Chains A and B, each alone.
Chain A
Amino acid sequence: MTALLELQNVSRHYGGGLFSRRQVMAVRDVSLRLEQGRPEIFTVVGESGSGKTTLARMILGMVTPSSGAIRFQGTDLSTVHGARARRAFMRKVQPIFQNPFEAFNPMKRVDRYLFATARRMADVTGAAAIAEAADTALKSVGLSLAEVGGRFPHQLSGGQLQRVAIARALIPRPALLVADEPVSMIDASLRASIVNLLRELRDRNGLTIIYITHDLATAYYVSDRIIIMRQGIVVESGEARAVLDNPQHPYSQLLKSAVLSPEVPTGVSHA
């Protein structure tokens, strides 16, 4: 059965070339496989410089790998050329970016992107039907067109905006969502609801989500499978809770020990 997404020995380097010897390997020989028909939340954990964002951009087709192959539903991404093929691909794979305030043009109203996605990615025609599609998508993330329509990004909170971004990504009924640090720029009190929403999307909508984060706590809370990246290499992978409860690789162990828990350590006297 064709996999939903398959990465085979994917690498990406920057720099190098004819006159420069220095090369940065952002991603080194990464392979993974997500199955069709088996919705899951697949987490990529790494710190800055680990290559997780480059990996995400390659899966989204925004960056081409230097070597290796990425296949989405059997199609090699390097063969996707031309506006029509690109659009067909984008209907099935949608992104959620880290900073919701950057993901929307501050000078434009946010409903615009919802309408554009409905019109061009979901082939909805007619103003009424488009508004309906936008409203349905917004309702599935706990908002509504009445609340959000006509607003500019700075008039909404980070949590609301990120939800609008998720709603927009859901309109074309994608098979895969790639969420790059979706909650790291959102207030802690609003994070849980977004993370819960991701779980719901997996359970209720049957979506597979690639969740990229540096936060082990939310990774533990929400992931099915996990890979831990360091300087472009996958150091550990497996079933999420198993890996995080009992990390084998020294780097994973280091990461886990550095995580601060929101609990006052007992037996420590503060002055």
Chain B
Amino acid sequence: MSVLVVEGLRAYYRTSAFGVPRDVRAVDDVSLAVEAGEIYGLAGESSSGKTTLIKTIAAATQPPLEVLAGSVTFNFPSGAIDMQRAGRSQLAAIRWRHLSYIMQGSMSVLNPVRRVHHAFVDFAFRHLGQPMPRFLDTVRAHLQRLQLAPDVLDAFPHQLSGGMRQRVTIALATVCRPEFIIADEPTTALDVVVQKDVLAMIRGIQRELGSSILFVTHDMAVHANLADRLGILYAGRLVEEGRTADIFRAPRHPYTAHLIASLPRLGDTAPKAGLGGVPPNLADPPPGCRFHPRCPRASAICRREVPPLEPVAPGHRVGCFHPEPAP
């Protein structure tokens, strides 16, 4: 049974300017599933809706963001939970213990005026149910396993480097051994060398805990090196999904194909073509397939109807009326 099941999720920002209602269709009819122990990469550029999607999955929605349809269900060993219907105490019970997050800005997680160990106490203490001395020992052992010096607990966040802070954030997110971790661009602001270490750390801890990770980033190179399966988001819709190797070897959706082809690689000077056009305005998206204005393969039906996500190979789904031919 999948750990996370998202079914037909629709979440819009409902606003009104001068009495005229305006819906920003950030997540439109997204369905996906994440299995136990797998790293599911969510790839999307700006205005793809990926941030809204994670907020909705984590039930962290606030007006004007509203969930209009669909469901998000987590199947933890302790029981299934429907995120839209769960009450606050239920959500508080699973947060951090079964479902945790690694954010992009580590400084937004760690309180700049308190030492690091306070963050561990605030987030994890009540979940582990151990008396304080034993809890601190558990934390120190956890840090050591992640190759972090335990004296990091006594430092203030600003005394640590950006990479160090991000590693602490990862340790924080994994100390309760959650079944599911949502990682939102955890390496984007980091230098290349530090990024490599942080990704290795994420891979290591994932393998040890057997958690599932929903890893969101726009950086395709990170997905190529980390994700087991990959979902491509465009303009609020999932347009392709499959095993990472399959998607990179033979992308079927024109957007994915263009995206991968346009990435420069070290050692390669062949000319690359960028994708023409601009990402659509989610308040007024194009009818039918949202990619059709920029798609070289678009036809009349693309302008009228939304292509459903259909399997084109085992474990590989594409939402396109004219997918790229199989290799």
Contact = CB atoms under 8 A, between A and B. Distances in A.
Direct contact of A and B (CB under 8 A): yes
Contact of A271 (B39, B162, B191, B219): B39
A138 B239 CA distance: 33
A264 B262 contact: no
A107 to B, nearest CB: 17
Nearest to A199: B271
Interface in A133-177: 156-160
Given A188-B45, A188-B262, A220-B267, A261 B37 contact: no
A9 interface: no
A189 B195 contact: no
A245 B275 contact: no
A262 B221 contact: yes
Interface residues of A, number: 40
A26 to B, nearest CB: 16
B38 interface: yes
Interface stretch (A79-87, A110-118, A124-132, A252-260): A252-260
Interface stretch (A14-22, A35-43, A211-219): A211-219
A23 interface: no
Interface stretch (A56-64, A68-76, A89-97, A190-198): A190-198
A262 B220 contact: yes
Given A188-B263, A195-B264, A263 B191 contact: no
B191 A256 contact: no
Given A187-B46, A260-B196, A271-B38, A192 B228 contact: no
Given A192-B273, A220-B269, A260 B46 contact: no
A263 B258 CA distance: 15
B244 interface: yes
Given A192-B274, A194-B274, A262-B248, A217 B222 contact: no
B45 A187 contact: yes
Contacts of B263: 188, 192, 217, 262
A264 B192 contact: no
B222 A260 contact: yes
A191 B259 CA distance: 10
Nearest to B45: A187
A265 to B, nearest CB: 7
Interface in B198-228: 199, 218-222, 224-225, 227-228
B275 A190 contact: yes
Contacts of B225: 260-261, 264-265
Contacts of B279: 157, 187
Nearest to A256: B266
A261 B224 contact: yes
Interface string A238-262: 0001001100000000111011111
A121 to B, nearest CB: 28
B300 interface: no
Contacts of A157: 46, 278-279
A194 to B, nearest CB: 7
B265 interface: yes
A132 to B, nearest CB: 25
A262 B265 contact: yes
5 contacts: A189-B45, A220-B266, A262-B263, A270-B39, A270-B227
Interface of B: 37-39, 45-46, 162, 191-193, 195-196, 199, 218-222, 224-225, 227-228, 244-245, 248-249, 255, 258-260, 262-269, 271-276, 278-279
Given A187-B45, A195-B264, A262-B260, 9 more contacts: A187-B218, A187-B279, A188-B262, A189-B45, A190-B275, A217-B263, A220-B266, A260-B196, A262-B263
Interface of A: 47-48, 156-160, 187-196, 214-218, 220-221, 241, 244-245, 254-256, 258-265, 270-271
